Amino acid sequence: MKYLFPVYGATNGTATSGTVPLSSHFTVSSVNYISIPQGIKAKIWSVRISGAAVNFQIQFTQNVNTSTPTWVTVENISLASAGEVAIDKSRKPTVLEGKNGNEAIQIVWAQSTAAVSYIILDIEFTDEDD
Amino acid sequence: MYKEELYLVVDIPPEKSAYVFRIDTIWNPTYRLINYGPLPIQANQPLKSFTGTSVTAPANGALAPMSYIEGIEFPLQNVYNLSDMWDVPSSFLANRLFVVEQTVTPEFLRVNAYIPINTVQASFQGNKLPLKISDLWGWKRGKFVMTHFPDILVGYNYANDTSFPVYTSVIFKYWEYVVSIPSDPAIIFNILAGFIPEKIVRRIAYPIVTLAPDLKNQLQRLYGFFGFPLPSIERRAEYERKYAEILASPLVRESYLARAGGIR
């Protein structure tokens, strides 16, 4: 199985930091994190951000099912001023593996001035060897 | 009449046997896809949960995070069985079967099948450890191939082991085969031994580990036997004799398939 899907979200425009609610074309409602099922590799193929100045961090945890998960920043993407940044990883994606079903990805933001910024990632879930 | 492969082989693993069918025609030579749409799940319908908490469907056709559902059939209007589009009556459609390639999206959803509808059909170390959709393995993600025999109800199971509440959707690619059983034991032997070119034989394993009583009874009524024993290739004469005996047996000659003209 290889399934490529977009995950998108935005800052709320009223807070200077927070966790991005994430959606996709198949979601009923947004989620605060994307769990990675056991045996699945989550490959992040691309990241695009746009809108107001912002810093987004893609974070990973190995214990999402605990009351206080430990989140580690995998990647920082920033807009110094209003605009757009696109990062294409088509040569080598960021791969995060679900080893026991407790792994997850979240995105947090920080801004000096609260404003709306957008993020979209192309993520592939696969259970196949490369 | 239209054909692709000339023969269809359906392996019955627990019997170490296989049904060999001659494909008389394919009823749907051109139109293969059914965009069925969402799984038949109602909003607020109770679902089972990986975490042991009570959970309900968040919307029509949707699965909650870390939830699963068992025994799904596919309702359709104006077919023989309104609650299951893949079920046809063996009393007068015994010479018909469907091979169905199913894709459920999002494709990371787990899928497997119970045959008949409440019988778990995956296990480890023989029957020591039955494997359900909620277990660590014993299922696939996204795609599933099934042979639908007349009057055998299949219950599909789906699981969402992610944090997303997901809208589901199903697409079927299907072949509606009209079949008979070859009358020549030598042909049956050659097909099962692999002496017939692969391009004219479609071979599929029936996804079962046990021939449950209901399933056994229905296959008995339908075909009169449980498949041709898989041959040892150096014992051609012995196996051809076995196949001839099967074809001549009263149960086969009186089966629904024989009455439908599928055994000559």
Give the largest Cα separation in chain B, rounded.
Answer: 61
Q: How confident is the model at residue B108 (pLDDT cuts 50, 70, 90)?
A: very high
Q: Within an 8 Å CB–CB cutoff, is residue B229 touching chain A?
A: no
- Whole-prediction pTM value? 0.95
pLDDT at A130: 63
The number of beta carbons lying within 10 Å of the beta carbon of residue A56 is 25
Mean pLDDT of chain B: 95
Tokens of A88: 């294409």
How much of chain B, in percent, has pLDDT values that exceed 70? 99
pLDDT tens, position by position, B51-96:
888 899 999 999 999 999 999 999 999 999 999 999 999 988 999 9
**Amino acid identity at A19:** T
d(CA B35, CA A127): 25
Q: Within an 8 Å CB–CB cutoff, is residue A70 touching chain B?
A: no
Q: Within an 8 Å CB–CB cutoff, is residue A26 touching chain B?
A: yes
Length of chain B: 264
A31 contacts B165? CB cut-off 8 A: yes
Which of the listed CATH numbers 2.60.120, 1.10.10, 1.20.120, 2.60.40 matches domain A2-126? Answer: 2.60.120
Among chain A residues, the shortest Cα distance to B111 is held by A1
pLDDT at A109: 98
d(CA B206, CA B14): 10
Task: Using CB atoms, pick whichever of B108, B140, B169 lies closest to residue A3.
Answer: B108
pLDDT tens, position by position, A9-64:
999 999 999 999 999 999 999 999 999 999 999 999 999 999 999 999 999 999 99
Residue B3 pLDDT > 60, yes or no?
A: no
Q: Within an 8 Å CB–CB cutoff, is residue A27 touching chain B?
A: yes
Q: Who's near B97: CB < 8 A, 6+ residues apart? A: B21, B147, B148, B149, B150, B177, B179
Higher-pLDDT residue of B117 and B1 is B117
**Distance of alpha carbon A40 from its chain centroid, rounded?**
16
Q: Within an 8 Å CB–CB cutoff, is residue A104 touching chain B?
A: yes
Tell me the CA end-to-end span of chain B in Å, nearest whole number: 19
pLDDT tens, position by position, B218-253:
999 999 999 999 999 999 999 999 999 999 999 999
pLDDT at B51: 87
Q: Under DSSP, is residue B252 helix (H, G, I), strand (E, B) or coil?
A: helix
Task: Using CB atoms, pick whichever of A28, A31, A37 lies closest to residue B59.
Answer: A28
